Copies of this chain bind each other. A is one copy, B any other.
Amino acid sequence: MFLVSTYVSSVNIGSHLNHPERPYHHGDLKRALVETAQAMLREGEGWQFNLREVARRAGVSHTAPYKHFPDKSALLAEIARQGYLQLRDALTAAVGQNTRSARAELLAASEAYLAFGRANSSLYRLMFSADVDKVRYEGLIEASLATFDVLLDILTRGQKEGVFRAAPLEGQAAACWALVHGLTMLDLDRQLLVEKVGPNPSGAVIESLLEGILA
Contacts and interface: CB of A to CB of B under 8 A. Distances in A.
Interface of A: 45-46, 103, 106, 122, 125, 128, 130-131, 134-135, 144-145, 148, 162-168, 170-183, 185-186, 188-192, 196-198, 200-201, 203-215
Contact of A175 (B148, B196, B209): B209
Contact of A179 (B103, B167, B175, B201): B175
A170 B208 CA distance: 11
Contacts of A186: 174, 177-178, 181
Given A130-B188, A182-B179, A205 B171 contact: yes
Copies assembled = 2
A170 B196 contact: yes
B209 A148 contact: no
A212 B210 contact: yes
B130 A171 contact: no
Counting chain B CB atoms within 10 Å of each CB, which of A122, A171, A206 scores highest? Answer: A171
A167 to B, nearest CB: 7
B213 A165 contact: yes
B182 A103 contact: no
A131 B47 CA distance: 10
Nearest to A192: B174
Contact of A128 (B185, B197, B200, B211): B185
A171 B196 contact: no
Top 9 nearest A-B pairs (CB, nearest first) are: A212-B212, A171-B204, A182-B182, A170-B198, A175-B208, A178-B182, A174-B197, A181-B182, A178-B183
A212 B213 contact: yes
B166 A215 contact: yes
